[in-house]
């Protein structure tokens, strides 16, 4: 039974996807052509679309649960960084062939875990057959008090730069997947390797930070293409620069081991993608209150530098000299 | 210059796409990670996502202006059928390679024409490189008075069935593209062939019907997969059946010629996709008012049958016998 392909779009939608829409009246059980959504009075909707493509954004052999989780998490991560609370999402699923029932059930299970963790519901979408790779295109809807979305381009010189969690773990996890022997080279335990891999496979949107960002931050964004590049985007949009202290970057135990064995991993913590941590610029006068409030979150925040007058991102060593990171971060069309 | 590829995602966004966002404050000039949108007081948002894939939804050699138009039109068509007014859209663009500047400018021009025609703005999105075919994934936002979205599943026995415009033209246009000699076989003039092709390449969402649907219709949906199949969906969602009179289907002059030369074209008018007309079920007591009000629109509406008790769609010949259309319409996973 479970090796059989799903037969027909209607079966795919009604059997596997409609249960994910049960909690949202405006989804009409995925039986209509459109969904309806409205923010609470005084709120507005914060919207984002960020598709993921097999072989581009995740390895071809990624488990269906993890693909589904990632597809939703990368969008919800943006909502969190903007100070918004997830509400709902649309999903367009492009499949190279009719999926097996077992694959589809696991994919739906991953979505169910993710939407429960993030507090949102599937409300509509589309399924297509494609001659290309599996593509999951989610559009996520969050809510935020009107006019309170935290912007990317409103950082000001003197603002203190913070990041959530730890950096580089997802890059390490991906490297462990693709480079046999790396675990041994870096001297990582099974548990450390598994934790790094989980950071790559299951990005954890930092939703708990959203209200603190609204209360304290000048600017914020999530880190998907590497700290150096994404911070450069914040600086450019803000008409400012940034100084980051490389030794201040928060590192997990596995990343500290990796840096100890191969110092290039410190550079990678500043340049590799898929962190899905949040970079926030907080006025100096509010930095203590922000860090204090964030201390009660299970991921924490770390001060890594500050916004400066001028332009561009300088990453400094402990001795104050600037690192040359070459061309940092990912650009699909560079 | 124009044969050069676009260099970098930022150039792609800021040079070619940001001008399309200029009229919508919540788009933040495409310089932020998310957009914000809120319906007017008393309204709610009607949302839809329907991606189009090269080689699946349009021929590989389609002009960039027409690809862009189609990508937006197929989504806006759904909004119109639900009684909603287009407001804004997100676009995720997956490109097999960095596009040439000339191609990208033409694509942006097509989007500009479409969004001006439909009255909406680009407010955000994403660009990716893909190993698969060109894919344009638009999520469209419309507004409708709260609780007034016209449903698919609320048709009732006795409702009169109407369609806008004419049926089968897009299928004829696509056939003219792919079958050399068909124009001559069917005896079509250059103008008739061009008009049919335009119906395929530039679907025209029937936005003028939206207020009339809200005022009069029990149920409505747009026709993308063929009248017989889409009417079957309306019936199933409504727990009802339908009787359609094949001779009542509205046909353009080129389609009348095609049917005259080859009667199978009449069947195709009932089964082929890409019409992007609207199917509406209107209570008998309101049918005259609906048709009268629609008479002032430039595309018109035609009564083609009625909703019945029971289940399934029966398509009747003039003598009252039922046609057997086999397996009608498109299913990606059948």
* B267-279 confidence digits (pLDDT tens): 999 999 999 999 9
What is the architecture of the domain spanning A160-316? Alpha-Beta Complex (3.90)
Other beta carbons within 10 angstroms of residue B261's beta carbon come to 14
**Cα–Cα distance measured from residue B222 to residue B231, given in angstroms and rounded to the nearest whole number:** 10
Phi, psi of B202 (to 5 degrees): -130, 70
The pLDDT assigned to B2 comes to 66
The pLDDT assigned to B327 comes to 61
- Alpha helices by DSSP H, listed for chain B, are 9-11, 64-81, 101-118, 169-178, 182-186, 190-201, 210-216, 227-238, 253-261, 264-271, 284-294
The pLDDT assigned to A3 comes to 81
Segment holding B162, helix H or strand E: strand B160-164
The pLDDT assigned to B44 comes to 97
Q: Which residues of chain A have pLDDT under 70?
A: 1-2, 326-334
Q: Of A131, A136, A79, A138, which is closest to residue A107 (Cα–Cα)?
A: A136
**Cα–Cα distance measured from residue A252 to residue A20, given in angstroms and rounded to the nearest whole number:** 34
Q: CATH 3.30.1330.10 region(s) of chain B?
A: 9-145
Q: CATH 3.90.650.10 region(s) of chain B?
A: 160-316
Residues of chain B found within 8 Å of residue A32, distances taken between Cβ atoms: 82, 149, 151-153, 237
pLDDT tens-digit profile of A192-237? 999 999 999 999 999 999 999 999 999 999 999 999 999 999 999 9
The pLDDT assigned to A327 comes to 61
Phi-psi group of B322: left, alpha or beta (phi > 0 → left; psi -120 to 50 → alpha; rest → beta): beta
Contacts with A136 (C-beta within 8 Å, 6 or more apart), sequence order: A51, A52, A67, A68, A71, A91, A92, A93, A94
**Cα–Cα distance measured from residue A262 to residue B80, given in angstroms and rounded to the nearest whole number:** 59
The encoded tokens of residue A24 equal 């949202």
Give me the CATH topology for the region A9-145.
60s Ribosomal Protein L30; Chain: A; (3.30.1330)
Q: What percent of chain A has pLDDT over 90?
A: 93
∠ CA B192-B196-B200, nearest 5°, is 165
Q: Taking CB atoms and an 8 Å limit, are A139 and B135 in contact across chains?
A: no
β-pairing, A135-145 vs A85-95, is antiparallel
Q: Taking CB atoms and an 8 Å limit, are A135 and B130 in contact across chains?
A: yes
Q: What is the pTM of this model?
A: 0.95
pLDDT tens-digit profile of B212-255? 999 999 999 999 999 999 999 999 999 999 999 999 999 999 99
**Cα–Cα distance measured from residue A223 to residue B195, given in angstroms and rounded to the nearest whole number:** 49
Which of A9, A17, A26, A34 is best to mutate for the B interface (most B CBs within 10 A)?
A: A34
Q: Taking CB atoms and an 8 Å limit, are A90 and B38 in contact across chains?
A: no
Q: Of B124, B59, B47, B330, which is closest to residue A128 (Cα–Cα)?
A: B330
The pLDDT assigned to B164 comes to 98
Is-contact A198 A173, C-beta < 8 A?
A: yes
The pLDDT assigned to B3 comes to 81
DSSP B40: P
- What sign does the dihedral A251-A257-A263-A264 (CA atoms) show? negative
DSSP B330: -
The pLDDT assigned to A328 comes to 61
User: How far, rounded to the nearest angstrom, does the alpha carbon of residue A212 sit from its chain's CA centroid?
Assistant: 18
Q: Which residues of chain B have pLDDT under 50?
A: none
Residues of chain B found within 8 Å of residue A152, distances taken between Cβ atoms: 31-33
Q: Taking CB atoms and an 8 Å limit, are A129 and B333 in contact across chains?
A: yes
The pLDDT assigned to A324 comes to 80
Q: What is the mean pLDDT of chain A?
A: 95
Residues of chain B found within 8 Å of residue A153, distances taken between Cβ atoms: 28, 31-32
β-pairing, B301-308 vs B241-245, is antiparallel
The encoded tokens of residue A258 equal 């990796």
Segment holding A107, helix H or strand E: helix A101-118
The encoded tokens of residue A138 equal 């989610």
């Amino acid at each position: 039974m479970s090796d059989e392909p799903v037969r027909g779009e209607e079966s795919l939608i009604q059997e596997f996807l409609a249960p994910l829409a049960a909690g949202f009246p405006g989804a009409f059980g995925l039986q209509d052509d459109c969904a309806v959504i409205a923010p609470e009075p005084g709120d507005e909707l914060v919207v984002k679309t960020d598709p993921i493509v097999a072989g581009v954004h995740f390895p071809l052999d990624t488990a269906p649960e993890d693909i589904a989780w990632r597809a939703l998490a990368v969008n919800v991560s943006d909502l969190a960084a903007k100070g918004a609370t997830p509400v709902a999402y649309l999903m367009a699923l492009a499949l190279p062939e009719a999926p097996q029932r077992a694959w589809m059930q696991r994919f739906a299970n991953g979505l169910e875990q993710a939407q429960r963790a993030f507090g949102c519901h599937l409300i509509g979408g589309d399924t297509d057959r494609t001659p290309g790779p599996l593509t999951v295109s989610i559009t996520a809807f969050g809510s935020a008090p009107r006019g309170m979305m935290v912007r990317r381009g409103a950082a000001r010189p003197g603002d203190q730069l913070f990041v959530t969690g730890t950096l580089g773990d997802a890059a390490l996890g991906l490297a462990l997947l693709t480079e046999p022997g790396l675990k041994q080279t870096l001297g990582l335990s099974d548990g450390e390797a598994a934790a790094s891999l989980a950071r790559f496979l299951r990005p954890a949107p930092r939703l708990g930070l959203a209200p603190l960002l609204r209360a304290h931050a000048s600017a914020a964004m999530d880190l998907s293409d590497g700290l150096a590049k994404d911070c450069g985007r914040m600086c450019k949009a803000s008409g400012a620069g940034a100084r980051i202290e490389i030794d201040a970057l928060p590192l997990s135990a596995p990343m500290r081991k990796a840096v100890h064995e191969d110092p290039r991993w410190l550079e990678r913590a500043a340049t590799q993608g898929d962190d899905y941590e949040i970079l926030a610029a907080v006025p100096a006068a509010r930095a203590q209150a922000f860090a204090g409030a964030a201390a009660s979150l299970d991921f924490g925040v770390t001060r890594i530098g500050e916004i400066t007058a001028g332009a561009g991102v300088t990453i400094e060593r402990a001795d104050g000299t600037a690192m040359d990171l070459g061309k940092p971060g990912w650009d699909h069309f560079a």
